[in-house]
Structure 1
């Protein structure tokens, strides 16, 4: 079902790349997003989507999992080789394997088709807010002198939004960086998954905790597996 009511359009032009092989869904979703004020580029297969991504500027990618020539998981991985652009995956089945594979490949979030347009747009807006690092009231880290947060050999420049590990830059996707900033704002404090979904993913509703778990997993690979501790039955915490 698609709800075509428009509550508010983006303040500035935002371009979404939609890669979906079903022509009806592709047209319906693109029309719906355009009614909300987004500019939409479309592709019907993974390789064409990859070419469009490389040839243009896109603020967000909306990828179906099942695509010809190059599936959504493979496309997501190829994009992540060179870009941290927000990626929202769409799965027709919502199978655990689809969801986990998409998130492991570097997607920021996912929706299950069919999806109401208002829900889809809410997810898109949330991803775009994370990408621009709009502050979350009450959850901004307190930097030490110079604007840096230091945890052993891990340094977080909260002003420049840069992360260094043993002096070497670490490339993080927007959601990964915002997750790290949330942990850094509460060092040594256990944060449960619902809190992280609310404050990092900006969910005003209950989300799938697998999103949190897979993003933590990706973050650990980049900053050190033992940096973020799992507190079984409760959540995660950043070691002081």
Structure 2
């Protein structure tokens, strides 16, 4: 059965180009030019995933997400501008699954879509397997990760990560002190993709460090070994 993706953006050029790219990958697309128009069909017939632009007239992406979450539950990726980091954080706290900054490559967006869909499918399998225990929490010093609920805490304070950031951190935290190369981390975060620039991992690490330093200014648990890769520091 084909996967349905809803696109909500007031820029018709983006709607058209993304729709063509997604359809070429086998996805079914539903297009909406603003949040008000999208709200009713999204809640009455939820898609498998939706992509919301944050800045839209009439009803912006965050208000649309809030209204949708009252009646439906499906993964959402935000499209943002580079100067909207606060909006990104608020959107993720409200229940968005990931975000990508404009301008972006369609290849990168497709990679994020696949990562979010994989994570959603894994959660659904876990929820449906009542006879099996949930994935165990990962506790590494002050870090606690709950894969089943996609939650991260540092010193008891919640840190909101995107799906891709969570996968990278989970990989590092599972084996503290063991170095993972960029290529190894890309294989985890983008399993189905032919090519993603390895510097994308550097960007994810940079954002994660910034998020952790917002709750602990001395955070240094994600270490860089220049020319080799990254590791989670052993306590």
- Please, what TM-score do these two structures have when normalized by structure 2? 0.59
Distance in 2 (CA, whole Å) between partners of 1:192 and 1:103 is 27
Structure 2 residue 66 is the aligned partner of structure 1 residue 78 = yes
Distance in 2 (CA, whole Å) between partners of 1:114 and 1:147 is 35
| 2:223–2:233 CA contact under 8 A, matched in 1 | no
Structure 2 residue 115 is the aligned partner of structure 1 residue 129 = no
| 1:130–1:174 CA contact under 8 A, matched in 2 | yes
| 2:23–2:29 CA contact under 8 A, matched in 1 | yes
Structure 2 residue 53 is the aligned partner of structure 1 residue 64 = yes
Residues 47, 126 of structure 1: alpha-carbon distance in 2 compared, 3 angstrom cutoff: same
Q: 1:205 maps to what in 2? A: 196
Distance in 1 (CA, whole Å) between partners of 2:212 and 2:4 is 27
Distance in 2 (CA, whole Å) between partners of 1:109 and 1:162 is 16
| 2:223–2:232 CA contact under 8 A, matched in 1 | yes
TM-aligned CA deviation for residue 44 of structure 1: 1.1
The correspondence of residues 4-153 of structure 1 with structure 2, limited to 5 A, is 12-72=1-61, 74-75=62-63, 78=66, 85-89=75-79, 96-98=82-84, 100-101=85-86, 103-104=88-89, 105-106=91-92, 108-110=98-100, 112-113=102-103, 115-116=105-106, 120-133=109-122, 149-151=138-140
Indicate the SS of the match to 1:41. Answer: strand
Distance in 1 (CA, whole Å) between partners of 2:178 and 2:105 is 36
Distance in 1 (CA, whole Å) between partners of 2:118 and 2:53 is 22
TM-aligned CA deviation for residue 185 of structure 1: 1.7
Q: 1:214 maps to what in 2? A: 207
Q: Which runs of 5+ in 2 are unaligned?
A: 124-134
User: Cα RMSD over matched residues?
Assistant: 4.7
Structure 2 residue 229 is the aligned partner of structure 1 residue 237 = no
Distance in 2 (CA, whole Å) between partners of 1:60 and 1:186 is 32
Q: Which has the higher helix share?
A: 2
| 1:21–1:45 CA contact under 8 A, matched in 2 | yes
What are the Cα deviations for residues 24-66 of structure 1, in whole angstroms up to 9, with x where unaligned? 4424432442343212222211344455444442332222343
Q: How many residues align?
A: 209
The structure, 1 or 2, with the larger RCO (C-alpha pairs under 8 Å, 6+ apart) is 1
- Please, what TM-score do these two structures have when normalized by structure 1? 0.58
Q: Which runs of 5+ in 1 are unaligned?
A: 1-11, 135-145
